[in-house]
Structure 1
């Protein structure tokens, strides 16, 4: 599900960025009455995400634009697939084309990466989750795309849950001190996660009452040891530069969650084009 109040704000800001006053090319070249049809084409294999966002760009420009989809979010498509047909005001289609494609391509790239990571560990009892390493202003869309691809979301923002990281620990005076202080000030409904870099840190976090522990940049052997100690006591999250090549080995350690910043921070946009056919 998407919060369309927030999505519309993203789209309108994008349109304002692209159309400062008028679209000088389209508005001087195309008549107001002109109608056109176009096809949305996949130029490579991938997982689609963001179709309703793509459509909404054109609806904001002209409510009468019609978009007919041949696939749905989460579908894997082959190169050459006709994803959709767009019909309506030529001006609206031309003005919205770039923004609509930028969002769809970005979201589909994230969904494609999320599917790839999730599929690799589908036979293990572990979840692939994203991080807050998202494009500023686009987090709601990028995290939706992660879900469309079959992975899961970590916290959406700093207000949603507690994650005590290394700098928090230093500022608070230690792992135990940080956990006790935050637990004394939050609601009983809020879970507390803390980042540790050593087995000793894990033991201290468990003793202090952490609900979840993020194992930061630990070796495979350290992760296995952490699972022996913490499984069933806390939720264990592996994090820190984990790649596709590392994924199965990390899953085999028995951790509950693997967080992957690369799902959003360095993903390649999917190649999708919009071509007029009339």
Structure 2
């Protein structure tokens, strides 16, 4: 899998350093107090749940940032299907360093694995349709880089990363702008004025709004928000392939297959990143 543009070494290093500073402060005093500075040991990452593993590559980077002399023997890769009792990797080196890195590695990997697991499951429910699963910006502040990455590992597709790399004219934008036409025309003028090239997605709530988008044009995707499967089918038929379509709003594992059957191109699900239960993982000395 080719890394997306947001997964740069600089961005990952900044995330890791900020997270470590939050946790360590002026020192990991538990480890400094109890463990001799020259003690060396090892620990393994033990899987205690079934799911899709994510965050292994990030764990390497965290260990390296804490102590470049830590050695990781990797047994499983990101995206691996795992079960209780599997060992993802073994880390070996200074005991204090292993303990200092432990919680950040687990916090990241447990949540990333949960997101990858949920993404893989919902993607499996789209089998036999052309629909692709999208994430949203409903992410944890300062943890988006990991959550978006986990969606990719689970087989999903990233929506825009943030407010800066794509335009989505949602209901409030449309209402504040004075309607669909006004919002799209103002957006075109803004992009021309600023010399930016950004994709434009327009959220619609009714068939009337879909028709207005078709009349104005100049966009890249029509978002169909909180529509029933029956209404989605009508909207897809009305759009007739002129623009890609995206279903959004309150879609669950119980409804996603029906939504996919309507012929939409994408389905966005905020629950991928805002409503998951962490996969149970443990870093244990042995």
Q: TM-score range by the shorter chain?
A: over 0.9
What SS does the aligned partner of 2:283 have?
Answer: strand
Deviation, 1:211, is 2.5
Give me the CA root mean square deviation.
1.1
Q: Which residue of 1 aligns with 2:50?
A: 45
Deviation, 1:240, is 0.3
Q: Which residue of 1 aligns with 2:257?
A: 248
157, 163, 166: which one pairs with 1:158? 163
Deviation, 1:79, is 1.2
Deviation, 1:122, is 2.4
Q: Which residue of 1 aligns with 2:198?
A: 190
* 1:94-146 alpha-carbon deviations (Å, 9 max, x no partner): 11101111001111111011100111112211100000001111111111110
62, 78, 84: which one pairs with 1:79? 84
Take 2:9 and 2:142, find their aligned partners in 1: how far apart are those partners? 14
**Gap runs ≥5 in structure 1:** none
1:276 aligns with 2:281: no
53, 56, 63: which one pairs with 1:58? 63
Q: Which residue of 2 aligns with 1:89?
A: 94
* 1:137-165 alpha-carbon deviations (Å, 9 max, x no partner): 11111111100000100000111111101
Take 2:240 and 2:12, find their aligned partners in 1: how far apart are those partners? 39
Deviation, 1:181, is 1.4
* 1:230-256 alpha-carbon deviations (Å, 9 max, x no partner): 131111100001000001100011011
Take 2:282 and 2:142, find their aligned partners in 1: how far apart are those partners? 24
Q: Which residue of 2 aligns with 1:205?
A: 213
1:136 aligns with 2:141: yes
Take 2:72 and 2:240, find their aligned partners in 1: how far apart are those partners? 49
1:117 aligns with 2:125: no
- Runs ≥4 in structure 1, deviation > 6 angstroms? none
Within 5 Å, give how 1:4-23 maps onto structure 2.
4-23=9-28
Deviation, 1:30, is 0.9
With normalisation by structure 1, the TM-score equals 0.97
* Counterparts in 2 of 1:80 and 1:212: CA distance versus 1, 3 Å: same
Take 1:231 and 1:57, find their aligned partners in 2: how far apart are those partners? 48
1:264 aligns with 2:273: yes
